[in-house]
Structure 1
Amino acid sequence: MLPFDFEYYKPETLKEAVDLYQYLDQQGKRPMFFSGGTELITLGRIDLAYTDAVIDIKDIAECKVLQVSGDHVLLGSTLTLTQIEKANLFPLLTKTASQVADHTARGKITLGGNICAQIFYREAVLPFLLADSQVLIVGSEGKQVIPINEIFLGQLRLRKGEFLVQIATESRFVRAPFISIKRRQQWDMGYPLITIAALKTHDLVRVAISGLCPFPFRSKEVEAAFNNKGLSIEERVEGALEVMPDPLLDDVEGSAEYRLFVLKNLLFDVLGALDDVRV
């Protein structure tokens, strides 16, 4: 049970959802777009999340898209991770999503919910960062299509009243060689320590990481060091570690030093899997 009451709305169209948000906001309420609800329930119980009104977008058709259209894979924001796994339209995403939480939770966690969450990990965004995916956002100014690497900077930079509708990914990235590894410190289904996803395109390895910092990221500086084939593999890994962004997580799950140790070994694993692959 949540320690507060809220109004519940279930619009059927994007316009209805956006208009409803503006109306509720003008009434002095604090509305929240809602697709799965796992974070609201979890954080609301410990007073870290609050809303006066929930706008449930799960029934909006555009948010439930799961298809290949031309040379793009289109995935709606309200698809559950389980639905994405079963469809397997983007194998790197399938592998990465299958490592989030446990099977029961993945049936409730939505793609948009994971990407827009407040938690540190948000692993579902990693494949999209690697694939230069495009996000469809809707708000008071209408629909906008924006490269994810321009709008996801530690978190999805949505303006007030906007929400994520779909993500489009080019088929050439969907077919690229990849690896996705998750390391936990304690048990098989415990909180992650480090998750790394990588794919290879144009003879370069792209890397995205979750769990090292308080946000998921893909770094051009890290990739430049990682792909410098004028150096030994050891030097390339050390060079990548030297340009990791700040701050580093240092908590009960693992110290900053231990996370870097785990990541170092994962970077060797990535190069072992992809460095000699020709694409």
Structure 2
Amino acid sequence: MTHTIGWDHGLLAVDRFGGRLGPVLFVLPDGRQVAPLAVAPWFSEKVDLSLTPLFHRLRGEWPCVPFGKDVSHGYSASQEWDVLEASDSRIRLAIAYPDAHPIRRLERIIRPLPDRPAIDLELIIDTREDCRLPVGLHPTLGAGPWFIDLPPETSVATPNSIIAPIASVPTSDGAFIDARHFPPDVPTEELLQVLEANGRVGLINKGEGYRLDLTWNEAHFPSLLLWISHRGLMMPPWNGRTTMLGVEPVCSAFDLGTTVAQGDNPIKDRGIATTLAFRAGETFRTQYRLAAQPIQ
């Protein structure tokens, strides 16, 4: 079920279920070892797959095609992928979509960089018919603490259409929080969409003295969704015990699903795409990178 690659600067694992990357261990130039990606606290527990298959062995990073809670983050997120190649240098996986789906097939290539603690990832989408779909990438970090290295005036949106600077996001009780700091002071479950994220974000872990840089193609994914999950979900298997930070490049309107993303919405009204256009018979490719480095 799991395939691994070890190299001079780390160790990575890939689970066939969901094609998920994780856990990942990076070895920094000073010899320290860090593991930024989340592993759910119920990872080794039995989960009822008839309820929400997405939660099964939840960990790390995976693609969401299409992206949205109405489609459980895409067919591929809750199915077994086929392993096409598992060598010392890369892992290739693929999954065929149901015949009635406009997407025909996904392929995923995961390749560590031999000279540094970094991983290159590629997502390839083959399309069966013309369509417009929300799509996302889903890196999920552990408890941290993390500082999201974005300018304080960076605009974010919330599902109730408030537009605010990330350093001063209004809460339901009339207070303001600096959403660049994770985890928050109180249990909560929040989604914030960073508008025009420019294809990069740094995640600083001051406690362990390193940063994780995520870079991607901003033309494909103009926004960055921040999923702030801090002991706010009480239903099984979350049970009020889970702290995760989703740092998700998306072309979507939050995770509200295909219908909202394809229609009029506050993100689209600002001139920011919320769906990608696919044409029958064409192949879409996008690349992104996770890289770690020490900080002073």
**Which TM-score band applies after superposition, normalised by the shorter structure?**
under 0.3
Q: Compute the TM-score of the two structures, normalised by the length of structure 1.
A: 0.27
Q: Compute the TM-score of the two structures, normalised by the length of structure 2.
A: 0.26
The structure that is helix-richer by fraction is: 1
The structure that is strand-richer by fraction is: 2
- Identify the structure with bigger relative contact order (alpha carbons < 8 Å, sequence gap 6+): 2
Q: Which one has the largest radius of gyration?
A: 1
